[in-house]
Chain A
């Protein structure tokens, strides 16, 4: 039976091969720099996917997503700081650099924060929702700016990357890359599962017509809060990874323009497809890299480019791919 293979499937396979082969290829070319860049892309891909869950599937335009990233990063940063200084957090908790503790804790903290913010925010709609999430992110931003004990505005350097007993050492670039890749694939895959589950269907239903969902007996409020919490937790994980990638945390990670950039990644890639926003993150960071090598005033090109993309490519990059023989969605 001649069954046409979806171009997206072919693309996915090629992508997987390229991702696995990247570090050895980069090393053999004598360009280890690209391993770091690619790790950064994977981290932002994860963050963009978490935003896509609520933005693309739930229709919740969160303009404060960078705050969850920042909180996750600060969990790693603050615990690492106490471990290095041999002091106690809140006077009782010892610091640690163990990723077994800090990474889940980063997810937990970011998720809990998202839960609280979600409780208040999802009551509002449209532009009000955009603005209230922005307001909460600003609060988090200023909270960390005034946290002088942890560097305040200047941020906090990590004395070492997270440790995982003696299993893997994140100090090695290549190892860190594969850990980031594993996280992006595992958690990203988990998100895909979520969107295809009943939960994901409800979420899409809410985006299409919330009133109808409400009237067929679905407690939409709880679904929205749950999705928001999950997205926050995943962003927290991305934040923990980001802290390790840059060895540095600072309030600048939570600046509202960072949240704006995350939305750009999602839209650029094509919202509501998870893979699209991940690609959007890669394209965005590539653009940043290429343009900033070309001129230090690269944002003067990026800005108009963004307007053009919004104007012409409404479905994002993912929507521009030809569809395969079968319906993808």
Chain B
């Protein structure tokens, strides 16, 4: 394997990894703090992509489309949390899996009714459509680089938010002892709604960014949901740091698996990785609670 090809694949792996992190951070936070398994997280990804595709068609601006989709999914997520999901926080995981499975069916069908069954393809504006030579002689698409940068910025932002801000402090406190932080007078309901909405919006952002790379279609959230679940399980459910490292690990292994392994094994790489890791460490790499 040439050094150029290797570098390109590393970047592809990082791009997939940062995208997965956008999904995984929200999912793992919601699980870590609210103890909620949310299978509908993939639906937020899909809704983000559709919102962005529609807004892009209306305004022609990718930035406006991305911002609009972010806000749209934020509102959608918070509305769902207030209307339905908050009453499932204290139920067991099986109930949560089923209820959110019901939401997947609902959203997939809703999208099919509103936008139709055909796939959309988001065209990139000229400025983003080119390539740059990071290493002389090895052009790499600008857009994929932007995805990596956005992902890393979000990761840094989340790190600062969680470990440096007051909200982050409350989030961490809520994760380790919900009753205690309630007793201290923090309005935990509002905090939960905000965290849930933020996680949903990040999934929506991932969907928006996936738009120009993949087809925007019904059920697009289902397959990435499964991959995201693999990520948070490997990282240790509830741990954002674990989710970050596991995202990159999964992104890179999937990319290199597809390049190096025969087709039948390539699709399975990440699942084998997960099975091996869980066999060695049944709580994932970074168990959030001791």
Interface residues of A (CB under 8 A from B): 61, 63, 120, 123-128, 130-132, 134-136, 138-139, 142-143, 145-147, 256-257, 260, 263-264, 267, 297-300, 302-307, 310-311, 314
Q: Is the CB of A125 within 8 A of B282?
A: yes
Is chain A's interface secondary structure helix, strand, loop, or mixed overall? Answer: helix
Contacts of A145 in B (CB 8 A): 267
Question: With an 8 A cutoff between CB atoms, is B98 at the interface?
Answer: yes
How far is B275's CA from A123's CA once the two chains are assembled, in angstroms? Answer: 11
Q: Is the CB of A132 within 8 A of B102?
A: no
Q: Is the CB of A300 within 8 A of B268?
A: no
Q: Is the CB of A130 within 8 A of B93?
A: yes
Most buried by A among B110, B237, B278: B278
Is chain B's interface secondary structure helix, strand, loop, or mixed overall? Answer: helix
Q: Is the CB of B268 within 8 A of A310?
A: no
How far is B113's CA from A132's CA once the two chains are assembled, in angstroms? Answer: 34
Least CB distance from B226 to A in Å reads: 6
Binary CB contact string for chain B from 103 to 127 against chain A (1 if under 8 A, 0 otherwise):
1111111101100000000000000
Question: For residues 121 through 178 of chain B, which have their beta carbon under 8 Å from a beta carbon of chain A?
Answer: none
Contacts of B278 in A (CB 8 A): 120, 123-124, 128, 132
Closest to B284 in A: A128
Contacts of B284 in A (CB 8 A): 128
With contact pairs A125-B282, A127-B237, A128-B284 given, residues A304 and B106 touching in the complex (Cβ less than 8 Å):
yes
Q: Is the CB of A303 within 8 A of B109?
A: yes
Q: Is the CB of A302 within 8 A of B102?
A: yes
How far is B222's CA from A132's CA once the two chains are assembled, in angstroms? Answer: 17
With contact pairs A125-B282, A138-B226, A142-B267 given, residues A306 and B99 touching in the complex (Cβ less than 8 Å):
yes
How far is B275's CA from A302's CA once the two chains are assembled, in angstroms? Answer: 33
Q: Is the CB of A120 within 8 A of B98?
A: no
Closest to A305 in B: B102
How far is B271's CA from A63's CA once the two chains are assembled, in angstroms? Answer: 14
Least CB distance from B208 to A in Å reads: 24
Count of chain A to chain B residue pairs whose CB atoms are closer than 8 Å in the complex: 118
Q: Is the CB of A123 within 8 A of B109?
A: no
How far is B263's CA from A305's CA once the two chains are assembled, in angstroms? Answer: 39
Contacts of B4 in A (CB 8 A): none
Q: Is the CB of A303 within 8 A of B102?
A: yes
Residue contacts A-B, CB under 8 angstroms, 29 given? A125-B282, A127-B37, A128-B278, A130-B37, A131-B229, A131-B233, A132-B275, A136-B275, A139-B271, A142-B264, A142-B268, A143-B268, A146-B264, A256-B226, A263-B94, A263-B98, A264-B98, A297-B109, A297-B113, A300-B105, A303-B102, A303-B109, A304-B106, A306-B102, A307-B99, A307-B103, A310-B95, A310-B99, A314-B95
Q: Is the CB of B110 within 8 A of A300?
A: yes
Known: A305-B102, A307-B102. 19 other contacts (CB 8 A): A61-B94, A128-B237, A130-B37, A132-B233, A142-B268, A143-B264, A146-B267, A260-B101, A263-B94, A263-B97, A267-B98, A297-B113, A299-B105, A299-B106, A302-B102, A304-B102, A307-B84, A311-B88, A314-B95
Contacts of B113 in A (CB 8 A): 297, 300
How far is B131's CA from A179's CA once the two chains are assembled, in angstroms? Answer: 63
With contact pairs A136-B271, A138-B226, A307-B102 given, residues A123 and B95 touching in the complex (Cβ less than 8 Å):
no
Contacts of B279 in A (CB 8 A): 120, 123
Closest to B225 in A: A256
Q: Is the CB of B95 within 8 A of A303?
A: no
Q: Is the CB of A135 within 8 A of B109?
A: no
Contacts of B272 in A (CB 8 A): 139
Question: With an 8 A cutoff between CB atoms, is B230 at the interface?
Answer: yes
How far is B226's CA from A263's CA once the two chains are assembled, in angstroms? Answer: 17
How far is B230's CA from A142's CA once the two chains are assembled, in angstroms? Answer: 15
Q: Is the CB of A147 within 8 A of B264?
A: yes
Contacts of B248 in A (CB 8 A): none
Most buried by B among A135, A264, A297: A135
Q: Is the CB of A128 within 8 A of B283?
A: yes
Closest to A55 in B: B94
Contacts of A299 in B (CB 8 A): 105-106, 108-109
How far is B251's CA from A191's CA once the two chains are assembled, in angstroms? Answer: 43
Question: With an 8 A cutoff between CB atoms, is B74 at the interface?
Answer: no
Q: Is the CB of A306 within 8 A of B98?
A: yes
Closest to B268 in A: A139
Least CB distance from A64 to B in Å reads: 10
How far is B229's CA from A260's CA once the two chains are assembled, in angstroms? Answer: 15
Contacts of A63 in B (CB 8 A): 97
Contacts of A142 in B (CB 8 A): 264, 267-268, 271
Question: With an 8 A cutoff between CB atoms, is B87 at the interface?
Answer: yes
Contact among A125, A135, A146, A304 with B275 in the assembled complex (CB-CB below 8 Å) = A135
Q: Is the CB of B267 within 8 A of A123?
A: no
Least CB distance from A40 to B in Å reads: 20
Least CB distance from A121 to B in Å reads: 8
Contacts of B98 in A (CB 8 A): 263-264, 267, 306, 310
How far is B119's CA from A134's CA once the two chains are assembled, in angstroms? Answer: 27
Binary CB contact string for chain B from 74 to 97 against chain A (1 if under 8 A, 0 otherwise):
000000000010011001011101
How far is B109's CA from A293's CA once the two chains are assembled, in angstroms? Answer: 16
Binary CB contact string for chain B from 204 to 241 against chain A (1 if under 8 A, 0 otherwise):
00000000000000000010001001100100010000
Question: For residues 232 through 270 of chain B, which have their beta carbon under 8 Å from a beta carbon of chain A?
Answer: 233, 237, 263-264, 267-268
Q: Is the CB of B264 within 8 A of A131?
A: no
